[in-house]
Amino acid sequence: MHAFIEELDLHLRDHPSEALSKWLAWARQHADALDPFSASNLHDLEAHAAILAKPKRGKMESDEKELRVLGLLDEYL
């Protein structure tokens, strides 16, 4: 989505308008909101990783145990 928006911005720079500028700003914000790796969502991603990294006291959920056994959570621990 980001690439499309940037390409559209480049092609339409010769025909500026207030409405287009507002739409491009909205589109960039919307694309960021959908992108889990965008800077605006990085805090949430780090918070989720931190939660997974904390050792739990007590019984693990069966799916978490399986993911740990398979090593699929190693990069987050």
Which domain range does residue 50 map to? 2-76
Pairwise CA distance, residues 30 & 22, whole Å: 12
CA distances in angstroms from 41 to 38, 67, 74, 75, listed in the order given: 5, 24, 22, 19
For the chain, how many structural domains are there in total? 1
Whether the model clears a pTM of 0.75, i.e. scores above it, the answer is: no
pLDDT at 52: 76
Give yes or no for a contact between 77 and 49, defined as CB atoms under 8 angstroms apart. no
Q: pLDDT digits over 1-37, tens only?
A: 889 999 999 988 888 899 999 999 999 989 888 887 7
pLDDT at position 6: 93
Each residue's pLDDT tens digit, 36-57? 777 667 777 777 777 777 766 6
